[in-house]
Amino acid sequence: MSAYQPLKRPLVTLPFLVLTVIALIGTYYLAQRFIHGMGIVTNLNGGYAWGVWVVYDVVVGTALACGGYALAITVYVMNKGKYHPLMRTALLASLLGYGLGGVGAMIDMGRYWQFYNIFTPWHMNFNSVMLEVGLCVATYILVLCIEFAPTLLERFGAKGLVKALNKVLFIFIALGVLLPTMHQSSLGSMLIAMGWKVHPLWQSLHLQPLLAILTALTMGFAVVVFEASFSSVGFRRPSETPLLAGLGKGIVGLIAAYLLFRFGEILINGKFGLIFAGDLGSLMFLLETALFVFPLLVLSSAKYRGQGSLLLWASVSMLFAGSLYRFNAFLITYDPGAGYSYFPSTPEIMVTAGMVALEIMIFLIVVKKFPVLHDAKHA
Amino acid sequence: MKRRDFLKASLGGGAALLGTGTAEARGNLEPAEDAIGMLYDSTLCIGCKACVSKCKEVNGMPPTSLGEETAWDAARDLSAETLNVIKVYSEGAGKLKDAVKDGYTFEKRSCMHCVDPGCVSVCPVTAMRRDPKTGIVTHHPDACIGCRTCMVGCPYNVPQFDYDNPFGEIHKCQMCNQAGVERIDQGEMTGCAEVCPTGATLFGSRKALMEEAKRRMTLKPGEIYNYPRGDVRNPESHHEKAVPEYQQHIWGEKEAGGTNVLHISSIPFDKLGMPPLEERSYASISETVQHTLYSYMALPAIALAGLTYVVRRNTDDEGGDDS
Model pLDDT for residues A255-274, shown as the tens digit of each residue: 999 999 999 999 999 999 99
Give mean pLDDT, residues A339-348: 96
CB atoms within 10 A of CB A256: 14
Higher pLDDT, A242 or A346: A346
Q: Angle at which helices A159-193 and A208-234 pack, to 10 degrees?
A: 130
Asked whether the beta carbons of B4 and A194 are under 8 A apart, the reply is no
DSSP letter assigned to residue B273:
T
Q: Select the residue from A147, A166, A192 to test the B interface by mutation, using most B Cβ atoms within 10 A.
A: A192
Q: Is the pLDDT of residue A323 over 80?
A: yes
DSSP letter assigned to residue B66:
S
A171-202 per-position pLDDT tens digit:
999 999 999 999 999 999 999 999 999 999 99
Cβ-based neighbours of A172, under 8 Å, separated by 6 or more: A143, A146, A147
Asked whether the beta carbons of B265 and A157 are under 8 A apart, the reply is no
- Kind of pairing, strands B36-41 and B84-90? unpaired
Measure the CA–CA gap between B134 and B124, rounded to whole angstroms. 23
pLDDT at B9: 54
Q: Is the pLDDT of residue B20 over 60?
A: no
Closest Cβ–Cβ partner in A44, A123, A182 for B126: A123
Instruction: Report the 3 state secondary structure along B22-55.
Output: CCCCCCCCCCCCCCEEEEEECCCCCCCCHHHHHH
Measure the CA–CA gap between B126 and B143, rounded to whole angstroms. 7
Measure the CA–CA gap between B282 and A329, rounded to whole angstroms. 16
Sign of CA dihedral A48, A54, A60, A66: negative
CA B127 to chain centre: 16
Alpha-carbon distance B146 to nearest alpha carbon in chain A (angstroms): 4
By residue count, chain A amounts to 379
CB atoms within 10 A of CB A309: 10
CB contact under 8 A, B13 and A3: no
A123-146 per-position pLDDT tens digit:
999 999 999 999 999 999 999 999
CB atoms within 10 A of CB A366: 22
A31-80 per-position pLDDT tens digit:
999 999 999 999 999 999 999 999 999 999 999 999 999 999 989 998 88
Q: Chain B window 143-202: which residues touch A at a Cβ cutoff of 8 Å? A: 143-149, 151-153, 155, 157, 160-170
pLDDT at B23: 42
Measure the CA–CA gap between B12 and A362, rounded to whole angstroms. 47
Measure the CA–CA gap between A108 and B145, rounded to whole angstroms. 10
CB of B268 within 8 Å of a chain A CB? The answer is: no
Verdict on whether the full-model pTM lies above 0.90: yes
Measure the CA–CA gap between B292 and B280, rounded to whole angstroms. 17
Give mean pLDDT, residues B62-77: 67
Measure the CA–CA gap between A168 and B308, rounded to whole angstroms. 11
CB contact under 8 A, B307 and A268: no
Cβ-based neighbours of A178, under 8 Å, separated by 6 or more: B300, B303, B304, B307
pLDDT band per the 50, 70, 90 thresholds, residue A158: confident
Measure the CA–CA gap between A221 and A203, rounded to whole angstroms. 25
In 3-state terms, what secondary structure has residue B79?
A: strand
| Torsion (CA) A35, A37, A39, A42 in degrees, nearest 10 | 70
- Angle among Cα A289, A290, A292 to the nearest 5 degrees reads 65
Asked whether the beta carbons of B195 and B51 are under 8 A apart, the reply is yes
CB contact under 8 A, A49 and B277: no
A251: phi > 0 → left, psi -120 to 50 → alpha, else beta; which? Answer: alpha
pLDDT band per the 50, 70, 90 thresholds, residue A303: confident
CA B267 to chain centre: 19
Find, in chain B, the residue whose alpha carbon is nearest to that of A121. Answer: B125
pLDDT at A157: 84
By residue count, chain B amounts to 323
Closest Cβ–Cβ partner in B77, B283, B321 for A46: B77
pLDDT at B133: 96
The verdict on ipTM greater than 0.90 is yes
pLDDT at B2: 57
pLDDT band per the 50, 70, 90 thresholds, residue B290: very high
Cross-strand pairs, B161: B170
pLDDT band per the 50, 70, 90 thresholds, residue A234: low
Give mean pLDDT, residues B258-268: 97
pLDDT band per the 50, 70, 90 thresholds, residue B41: very high
Q: Is the pLDDT of residue B319 over 50?
A: no
> What are the residue ranges of helices labelled H in A156-279?
159-193, 208-234, 241-268
> For residue B127, which phi and psi values (nearest 5 degrees)?
-85, -15
Mean pLDDT score of chain B, rounded to an integer? 90
CB atoms within 10 A of CB B278: 18
Give mean pLDDT, residues B188-217: 97
Measure the CA–CA gap between A320 and B298, rounded to whole angstroms. 35
Give mean pLDDT, residues A294-310: 87
Cβ-based neighbours of A281, under 8 Å, separated by 6 or more: A199, A200, A201, A274, A333
Task: For residue B22, count CB atoms less than 10 angstroms from its CB and return exposed for 0-12, middle for 13-18, buried for 19 or more.
Answer: exposed
Q: Angle at which helices A159-193 and B282-293 pack, to 10 degrees?
A: 150
- Kind of pairing, strands B261-264 and B36-41? parallel
Q: Is the pLDDT of residue B322 over 80?
A: no
CB of B318 within 8 Å of a chain A CB? The answer is: yes
Measure the CA–CA gap between B322 and B320, rounded to whole angstroms. 6
- Chains A–B, number of C-beta pairs less than 8 Å apart: 258
Q: Give the end-to-end CA distance of chain A in Å, rounded to a whole number.
A: 13
- Kind of pairing, strands B103-110 and B128-130? unpaired
pLDDT at A233: 67
Measure the CA–CA gap between B169 and B151, rounded to whole angstroms. 12
B154-184 per-position pLDDT tens digit:
999 999 999 999 999 999 999 999 999 999 9
Measure the CA–CA gap between B258 and B106, rounded to whole angstroms. 22
pLDDT at B11: 53
Chain A residues close to B4, C-beta within 8 Å: 196
Ranges assigned E (strand) in chain A: 4-5, 373-374
State the amino acid at position B133 in one-letter form.
Answer: K
